Amino acid sequence: DLDASLGLDEEVKVTKRRKPISKLDEARLLSAPGIPKLRADARSGKFSKKLRLKGKGHEFSDVARLLNYYQLWLDNLYPRAKFADGLQLIEKVGHSRRMQVMRKEWIDEGKPGYVRD
């Protein structure tokens, strides 16, 4: 009985855990290839040049380029999801309290006369 109470004879069951599926959550969205990348691109000042936007009169082709940019960005960040699905996932993440605060912060940073606390 001593063996039993010490649990010596019992076989240790090893249950194989499924590999967790990576999620498109806050952490991933805030990691380097996520929003920081977007912000870096946006603040570099060469955004439209980088995308080779043609400007006035070429709205439709420019929008296609913009959408392609987002698609590649999303594919890089979270290759699992299709573009439309990924957008929905991100939009949902944006509802969380933390994200809302951060979004507000990002916008405030762009305002003239902003001083970091």
Partner 1 sequence: FSKAQTVHPEVRAYVYSLVNALGGSSTDDDGHYVLGDDALACLRDLKRWLKLYDEKNNRLDVARCLAEAKLVGGDLVPILASWPEDGKENKLKARVALACLEVLVPLTWPLETTGEMTLNHHRHTPYIQQAQVIYKAAILGCDTSSILRQVVRIGLPSIAVARDERTSRDEGILKLLLYFFRNIAVIQQVPNLPSQGLDSEVSRSATIEAFRDQDVFALLLTICSNMGEDFNLQDVIVLDIIFNLIKGVDPKRLWMTQQQRKSQGITDLGAALAVEESKNRATKKHQWSRHGRFGTMLWVKRDGEKMSAVSGQDNLKGDQQALFNMDKSKKWSKPQQKRRDIDHTIHDFDHTTHLTDPASEKLRNFVDEFLDSGFNPFFTHLRKAIEREAERLLDVNYRQFFYAVAWFLEAERIRRETQKKEVKPDKVRDDFTDESYSIVAAVLNQETFIMLNRFMQVSLDNKEWQDLNACMRCFTQVLLTVQEMVQSPLEEDQEIADNIQNRIFYEETTHDRVVEILRGYKDQGFGYLDACTELAHVFLRMLERYSKENVDMQIRSRRRAKKKRKEEMRMAAQPGDDPTADDEDSENEDIADVVQVSKERKFDFNRFAAKFSTQNSVNTFVSLTTFYRDLSIEQLKRAHRFFYRVAFKQDLAVLLYRIDIIALFNKMINGPDGLDKRHAMYKEWSEFARQVFKKMFKKIDQRPELIVEMLFSKINSTLYYLEYGQEKQTIAAS
Applying CB under 8 A, the residues found at the interface with partner 1 are 35, 38-39, 41-43, 45, 47-48, 53, 55-56, 59-60, 62-64, 66-68, 70-72, 75-76, 79-85, 87-91, 94-95, 99-100, 103-104, 106-107, 109-111
How far apart are CB 16 and partner 1 at their closest, in Å?
22
49 phi, psi to nearest 5 deg: -70, -40
How far apart are CB 99 and partner 1 at their closest, in Å?
8
Secondary structure (H, E, C), 22-72: CCCCHHHHHCCCCHHHHHHHHHCCCHHHHCCCCCCCCHHHHHHHHHHHHHH
- Choice between 7 and 74, CB closer to partner 1: 74
How far apart are CB 31 and partner 1 at their closest, in Å?
14
- Best CA proximity match to 78, nearest among 19, 27, 40: 27
